Amino acid sequence: GAVVSQHPSWVICKSGTSVKIECRSLDFQATTMFWYRQFPKQSLMLMATSNEGSKATYEQGVEKDKFLINHASLTLSTLTVTSAHPEDSSFYICSARWPGGYNEQFFGPGTRLTVL
């Protein structure tokens, strides 16, 4: 159990375009999902906490109008990078909080975004 999928696995886009990344919890319902960004050889950086049915909570320094998060159901959260620029190129990882237990997070496989 506790499988989280992410789609797409990698995407290459032109500067100025928007990219949507989906995160799904396949075998459990996740009230809370998280979006992280990770640059090469650096640790995870939490971007935002996504709660089903309400607005996402963004970390300081993360532009909410640029990184749109929608958590419309208990199994799906989406991250849209709007007007992407080369500096947005990164590894984006979502996680879903296990409902109960230890509040552990299970991670999706990540999406590698390259903006040309």
Partner 1 sequence: GQNIDQPTEMTATEGAIVQINCTYQTSGFNGLFWYQQHAGEAPTFLSYNVLDGLEEKGRFSSFLSRSKGYSYLLLKELQMKDSASYLCAALDSNYQLIWGAGTKLIIKP
Q: How far apart are CA 83 and CA 33, in angstroms?
A: 23
Least Å from the CB of residue 93 to partner 1? 5
The one-letter code for the residue type at 24 is R
Residues 110 and 92 sit within 8 Å (Cβ to Cβ): yes
Find the part of the chain contacting partner 1 (CB under 8 A) among 11-19, 66-74, 80-88, 102-110. 102-110
Find the part of the chain contacting partner 1 (CB under 8 A) among 14-22, 37-45, 64-72, 74-82. 37-45
Find the part of the chain contacting partner 1 (CB under 8 A) among 12-20, 65-73, 77-85, 98-106. 98-106
Tell whether residue 28 is a contact of partner 1 (CB under 8 A). no
Nearer residue to partner 1 within complex by CB, 87 or 102: 102
Tell whether residue 62 is a contact of partner 1 (CB under 8 A). no
Q: How far apart are CA 89 and CA 43, in angstroms?
A: 15
Nearer residue to partner 1 within complex by CB, 28 or 91: 91
Beta bridge partners of 97: 105
Choosing from 49, 70, 80, 82, the residue that interacts with partner 1 (CB under 8 A) is 49
Say whether the peptide bond before residue 8 is cis (omega within 30 degrees of 0).
yes
Q: Which of 44, 48, 40 is nearest to 23 (CA)?
A: 48
